[in-house]
Structures are given as structure tokens and as C-alpha cells.
Amino acid sequence: MFTTGFTDPQGTTFEAAVFQVLRSDFTINTSETYSFDIREQVGSAANETSNFSLNYRMGYWASQDAKESGAPPYTLIDPNTYSSDFASYTLDGALYSELEAEAAAELHCKTEVIGA
């Protein structure tokens, strides 16, 4: 959960909206190649790569008071696709490799979706 000011896709500005990940699927795949040189009798591992898959849905409240009162959240919608699901498959490994699903969704939403 995080709080930030932002303007929603309909143009309404919120000074301190409260964001909560409603659902997040985050997958990290790591690949490594191992080869053994028979002549030299030496093995080596190389080409370790990682790729990420992130798909999530984000809800938000106009304020902390609205959240605490039990009001249902708004669902953040992508104004380009009209989808409530956000996804990325080109995430920076240095930023995302140590994160869990909720934190990965929060970071992506803050930096790539709402620009907080």
C-alpha cells in the first residue's frame, strides 16, 4: 500500500490517494548455461539471464479516511487500453529481482503508470 497524489484517467485529481494491490502475478525465470570442456577437464557456467513477467490489478481510494471507512476502492484503469490489468515483461532486473509480487506491482505502478 502507498499514498500519493495523482490525477485519474477521467481527470479527477486526488491529493493523497491510497493505492492497494488487489492482485499480482509475478514470475522470475532464471537461465544458466553450463558446459564441460572434455580436453581441459573444466566446467563453467555462463550466460545467466533473468526475465520477468508481471500482471496486476490496482485499487485506490480518494483518501485514507475513505479506505478506513470501509468504502470499496476504485479500480485503476489504463486509459490507453481501458483495461484494469497492467502488465510488463521488460522489467529491470536490478530493480525487480529481489521483490515479491505485491512490491513489484507497487513499484511498477508508481514508476510506470502514475509517475509518482
pLDDT tens per residue, range 62-83: 999 999 999 999 999 988 889 9
Give the tens place of pLDDT for each residue, 1-43. Answer: 999 999 988 899 999 999 999 999 999 887 777 778 778 777 7
Q: Flag whether 98 is in a domain.
A: yes
| Residue 35: predicted pLDDT | 79
- Most confident of the ranges 3-12, 14-23, 45-54, 90-99: 14-23
Q: Which of 41, 55, 51 is nearest to 87 (CA)?
A: 55
How many folded domains does the chain comprise? Answer: 1
Q: Flag whether 89 is in a domain.
A: yes
Band of residue 49 on the pLDDT scale cut at 50, 70, 90: low
Q: Flag whether 63 is in a domain.
A: no
Structure-block grid coordinates of residue 22:
488487489
Q: Flag whether 30 is in a domain.
A: yes
Structure-block grid coordinates of residue 34:
553450463
Q: Flag whether 15 is in a domain.
A: no
The CA distances from residue 90 to 52, 54, 95, in Å, are: 7, 9, 12
Q: Flag whether 67 is in a domain.
A: no
Query: Which residue range is the domain that position 89 belongs to?
Result: 21-58+72-113
Q: Flag whether 99 is in a domain.
A: yes
Q: Flag whether 5 is in a domain.
A: no
